[in-house]
């Protein structure tokens, strides 16, 4: 039997591998995707929020001006291609914690670098019963969430239909690395790109700093037009809310921990004083890195091996842009962005 030829093998069909595969298909590249199709992955456990202004200090997230103007459009285009809805544009409402917090934003609002991302800054409660927002808050634009499991499932259906999906573990030992190609189980490809999230891949000894997180679904007797975010986020999803998240560098398990759920509930109760019932608790481990920037690029010894990983807490907003960028690099149409180049640590 002769060799099957492919341009690229992609290992992993999480958010990273999925965006990379779509981008390669858009450029008519021949790609084969391997995924062991397990339930315990970062993408399948994620809340899916994209948010241009984040953190305790509420500053623009890294590369916001590069990522956010095209982000929603990229997801909308993918929805059309897959004929499936998964993008939920939703303003994020972040109540102010104090009058000082409110004053800070009165000043910041005058700064045009935030214009694009601020929808409104109410200075009084917006009137959700049981939500603590006595000083009003900030309402953001270009924000919302992606239903990642639905996006991955409909992408997988397309890949299966095209005959380019293999639902199996990729076995590293079975790669034969040549100067300009890789042979793997009867396939000859130009490169293998690893998009494995948290993994034990022996080729990449990188300073990942994985972070476990818990989230839960709750039922309560109201709903909201906003994602509400203060201490915890509450994402309205029809008759329930998804509430998250915790951050823990220890105990990197996909089992929700009691301590994590307790911490979520404590923070939830500061934001929301109504009654609720927990419907589901889950946990995942985020593939975060030492400097909070992705690891993208090529192996220092084996030029036929590439990596597209390390999207940490922000896979939803980072993967579409960087998938496009990485394919440009693979096709010699651009130089690899130095800040994300894996050579900084490889």
Ligand X SMILES: Cc1cc2nc3c(=O)[nH]c(=O)nc-3n(C[C@H](O)[C@H](O)[C@H](O)COP(=O)(O)OP(=O)(O)OC[C@H]3O[C@@H](n4cnc5c(N)ncnc54)[C@H](O)[C@@H]3O)c2cc1C
Residues in contact with ligand X by the rule CB under 6 A: 11-17, 34-36, 38, 41-43, 45-49, 169-170, 195-199, 213, 215, 244-245, 284-287, 309, 311-317
Smaller CB separation from ligand X, 121 or 203:
203
Smaller CB separation from ligand X, 232 or 329:
232
Q: How far is the CB of 36 from ligand X (least distance, A)?
A: 4
Beta bridge partners of 208: 289
Q: How far is the CB of 187 from ligand X (least distance, A)?
A: 14
Q: How far is the CB of 129 from ligand X (least distance, A)?
A: 26
Distances in whole angstroms, Cα of residue 299 to Cα of each of 31, 69, 177, 195, 331: 19, 31, 12, 13, 17
- For residues 171, 149, 162 and 10, what is the CA-based torsion angle, rounded to 10 degrees? -30
Look up residue 190 and give its two tokens: 């130009």
Smaller CB separation from ligand X, 135 or 146:
146
Smaller CB separation from ligand X, 102 or 246:
246
Query: How far is residue 4's CA from residue 88's CA, in Å, rounded to a whole number?
Result: 39
Query: How far is residue 28's CA from residue 24's CA, in Å, rounded to a whole number?
Result: 6
Beta bridge partners of 9: 32, 192
Q: How far is the CB of 259 from ligand X (least distance, A)?
A: 15
Smaller CB separation from ligand X, 15 or 102:
15
Q: How far is the CB of 318 from ligand X (least distance, A)?
A: 7
Q: How far is the CB of 335 from ligand X (least distance, A)?
A: 23
Three-class DSSP category at 262: helix
Looking at the chain, the number of H-run helices and the number of E-run strands are 7, 21
Smaller CB separation from ligand X, 48 or 306:
48
Q: Are strands 182-184 and 31-34 parallel, antiparallel or unpaired?
A: unpaired
DSSP symbol at 11: E
């Amino acid at each position: 039997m002769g060799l099957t030829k492919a341009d690229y093998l992609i290992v992993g069909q999480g958010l990273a591998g999925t965006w990379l595969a779509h981008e390669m298909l858009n450029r008519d590249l021949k790609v084969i995707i391997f995924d062991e199709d397990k339930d315990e992955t970062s993408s399948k456990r994620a809340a899916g929020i994209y948010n241009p202004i984040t953190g305790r200090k509420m500053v623009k997230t890294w590369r916001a001006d590069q990522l956010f103007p095209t982000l929603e459009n990229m997801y909308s285009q993918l929805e059309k291609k897959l004929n499936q809805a998964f993008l939920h544009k939703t303003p994020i409402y972040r109540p102010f914690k104090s009058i000082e917090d409110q004053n800070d934003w009165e000043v910041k609002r005058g700064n045009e670098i935030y214009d694009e991302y601020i929808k409104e800054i109410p200075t009084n409660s917006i009137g959700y019963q049981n939500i603590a927002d006595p000083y009003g808050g900030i309402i953001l634009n270009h924000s919302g969430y992606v239903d990642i499991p639905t996006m991955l499932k409909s992408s997988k259906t397309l890949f299966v239909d095209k005959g380019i999906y293999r639902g199996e573990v990729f076995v590293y030992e079975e790669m034969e690395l040549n100067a300009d190609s890789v042979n793997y189980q009867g396939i000859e490809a130009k490169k293998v790109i690893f998009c494995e999230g948290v993994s034990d891949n022996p080729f990449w000894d990188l300073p990942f700093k994985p972070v476990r997180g818990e989230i839960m679904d709750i039922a309560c007797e109201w709903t909201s037009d906003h994602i509400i975010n203060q201490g915890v986020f509450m994402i309205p999803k029809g008759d329930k809310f998804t509430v998250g998240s915790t951050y823990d560098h220890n105990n990197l398990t996909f089992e929700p921990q009691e301590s994590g759920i307790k911490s979520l509930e404590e923070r939830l109760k500061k934001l929301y004083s109504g009654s609720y019932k927990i419907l589901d608790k889950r946990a995942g481990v985020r593939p975060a890195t030492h400097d909070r920037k992705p690891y993208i690029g090529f192996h220092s010894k084996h030029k036929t091996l590439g990596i597209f990983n390390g999207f940490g807490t922000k896979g939803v907003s980072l993967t579409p842009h960087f998938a496009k960028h990485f394919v440009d690099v693979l096709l010699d149409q651009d130089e690899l962005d130095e800040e994300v180049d894996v050579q900084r640590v490889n």
